[in-house]
A and B are shown apart, each in its own frame.
Chain A
Amino acid sequence: MSAESTGISAPQLPAVGAEEPPRTRRRRLNSSLIAGAVLVGLVIAAALLSFVWTPYDPTHVDSSARLEGFSGEHWLGTDKFGRDTFSQLLVGARTTLFVGVVAVGVAAVVGTPLGIFTGMTRPWLGTGLTRLSDLLLAFPALLLAIMFGAVFGASTLTAMVAIGIATIPAFVRITRGGTMQVMSTEYVLAARAAGRPRFWIGVRHVFPNILGLVIVQCSVSFAIAVLAEAALSFLGFGTRPPTPSWGRMLQESQEFLSEAPRLAIVPGIAIALAVLGFNLLGDGLRDRFDPRLEDRR
Chain B
Amino acid sequence: MRRVDSDMEREPRSVTGVLPDDRDVLTVDRMGIAVRDLSLVTDVSLRLRPGERVGLIGESGSGKSLTALALMGLLPEGLRATGSIRLAGVDRDLIGASEREMSRMRGRQIAMVFQEPMTALNPLMRVGNQVAEAMLLHSTRPDKASAQRAAVELLDRVRLPDPANAVKAYPHQLSGGQRQRVMLAIALANDPELLICDEPTTALDVTVQAQMLELILAGVEERGSALLFITHDLAVVATVCQRLLVMYGGRIVEAGPVHEVFTRPRHPYTRGLLDASDLEATDPRGRLHTIAGTVPAAGRFPVGCVFRNRCPREPEEAKVMPGWTGDETRGFACWNPVPYDD
Task: Check A-B contact in the complex, CB < 8 A.
Answer: yes
How far is B250's CA from A18's CA once the two chains are assembled, in angstroms?
13
Hey, what's the 0/1 contact readout for A1-44 against B, CB within 8 Å counting as 1?
11111111111110111111111000000000000000000000
Residues from chain A with Cβ under 8 Å of B299 in the complex: 6-7
A interface residue count range (under 10 / 10 to 19 / 20 to 34 / 35 or more): 20 to 34
**Pick from B119, B198, B295: contact of A18, CB under 8 Å:** B295
Contact A4 B199 (CB under 8 A): no
Q: Determine if B297 and A18 form an interchain contact, defined as CB atoms under 8 angstroms apart.
A: yes
- Selecting from B69-77, B144-152, B259-267, the interface stretch reads B69-77
Question: Which residues of A have CB within 8 Å of B296?
Answer: 20
**B76 and A17 within 8 A (CB):** no
The A contact surface, by secondary structure, is loop
Judge whether A4 and B119 touch: CB under 8 Å: no
Shortest Cβ distance from residue A8 to the other chain B in the assembled complex, whole angstroms = 5
Q: Given A11-B74, A11-B76, A22-B297, are A5 and B116 also a contact pair (CB < 8 Å)?
A: no
| A4-B34 Cα distance, complex, nearest whole Å | 12
A5 to chain B, nearest CB (A): 5
Q: Which of B42-50, B60-68, B238-246 contacts A (4 or more CB under 8 A)?
A: B60-68
Residues of B within 8 A of A22 (CB): 297
Is B232 located at the chain interface by the 8 A CB criterion? yes
A195 to chain B, nearest CB (A): 32
Is B78 in contact with chain A by the CB < 8 A criterion? yes
Interface string of B277-296 (1 = CB under 8 A from A): 00000000000000001111
Closest to B75 in A: A11
B230 and A2 within 8 A (CB)? yes
> Per a CB cutoff under 8 Å, which of B35, B63, B231, B295 touches A8?
B35
Which chain A residues lie closer than 8 Å to B116 at the CB level? 12-13
Contact A1 B59 (CB under 8 A): no
A3, B65: Cβ atoms closer than 8 Å: yes
- Find chain B residues with CB under 8 A from A6 CB: 35, 40, 66, 76, 79, 298-299
Residues of A within 8 A of B115 (CB): 1-2, 13
B120 nearest CB across to chain A (Å): 9
- Are the CB atoms of B297 and A21 closer together than 8 Å? yes
Q: Given A11-B76, A17-B59, do A4 and B300 touch, yes or no (CB 8 Å)?
A: no
Using a CB–CB cutoff of 8 Å, the interface residues on chain A facing chain B are 1-13, 15-23
A-B contact pairs, 14 of them (CB 8 A): A1-B199, A2-B58, A2-B198, A2-B202, A4-B61, A4-B66, A4-B298, A5-B298, A7-B35, A8-B79, A15-B61, A18-B297, A20-B297, A23-B297
